[in-house]
Chains A and B, each alone.
Chain A
Amino acid sequence: MTLLSVEGLCIETAAGVPLVRDLSLEVMPGEVVGIVGESGSGKTMTALSLLGLLPDGVRVSDGEATLDGHTFLSDASFRGRPNATMIFQNPTAALNPTMRIGAQLVRLLRFLERGVETGTGRRGRRSQAIDLLGSVGINDPQMVLGRYPHQLSGGMNQRVMIAMAIAARPSLLIADEPTTGLDVTVQAQILELIRATVAEHGIGVVFVSHDMGVIAQMCQRVAVMYDGEVREFAGVDDVFHRPRDGYTRELLSSASEQLLTEEVGGGARAE
Chain B
Amino acid sequence: MELALNDIEVVYGRRRRRNHAVRGVSISVRRGETLAVVGESGSGKTTIAKVAAGLQKATAGTLTWHRGDAVEANGRPSGQRVQMVFQHPVQSLDPTWRIRKSVLEPLRHQGVPHEEANRRVRELIAEVGLDPEVLDRYPREVSGGQAQRVAVARALVSRPEIVILDEPTASLDQTVRGRILTLLAELQQHTGVGYLMITHDISSVRRLATRIAVMYRGVIVESGPRAAVLEDPRHPYTRALIAAVPVADPRIAWDGVIELPRNPDGTLAIPSCPVPGECREHGPGLHEIDPDHLAACSS
Interface residues of A (CB under 8 A from B): 38-39, 183-189, 191-192, 210-214, 216-218, 236-237, 240-241, 250-261, 263-264, 267, 269-271
Contact = CB atoms under 8 A, between A and B. Distances in A.
Contact of B257 (A189, A213, A218, A264): A189
Contacts, number: 114
B159 interface: no
B202 A184 contact: yes
15 contacts: A38-B174, A38-B175, A189-B257, A192-B255, A216-B246, A216-B247, A254-B178, A256-B248, A259-B206, A260-B207, A261-B210, A263-B227, A264-B33, A267-B225, A267-B292
Interface of B: 30-34, 40-41, 68, 173-179, 181-182, 184-185, 188-189, 200, 202-203, 206-208, 210, 225, 227, 240-241, 243-251, 254-257, 291-292
Nearest to A261: B185
Contacts of A191: 246, 256
Nearest to A222: B250
Top 5 closest pairs, chain A to chain B, by CB: A188-B256, A213-B246, A254-B178, A260-B185, A183-B40
A266 to B, nearest CB: 9
Q: Count chain A CB atoms within 10 A of each CB in B184, B189, B241, B246 and give the residue with the most.
A: B246
B173 A38 contact: yes
A251 B244 contact: no
A270 B192 CA distance: 11
B12 to A, nearest CB: 19
Given A261-B189, A270-B32, 14 more contacts: A183-B200, A189-B256, A211-B174, A240-B248, A240-B249, A240-B251, A252-B248, A255-B174, A255-B203, A257-B206, A261-B34, A261-B185, A269-B33, A271-B30
A13 B173 CA distance: 24
A225 B16 CA distance: 51
B55 to A, nearest CB: 24
Main secondary structure on A side of the interface with B: helix
Contact of A259 (B32, B207, B250): B207
B225 A264 contact: yes
Contacts of A192: 255-257
Contacts of A213: 203, 245-248
A15 B103 CA distance: 38
Given A258-B207, A260-B181, A260-B182, A184 B244 contact: yes
A212 B248 contact: yes
B174 A212 contact: yes
A237 B244 contact: no
A38 B246 CA distance: 18
A216 B249 contact: yes
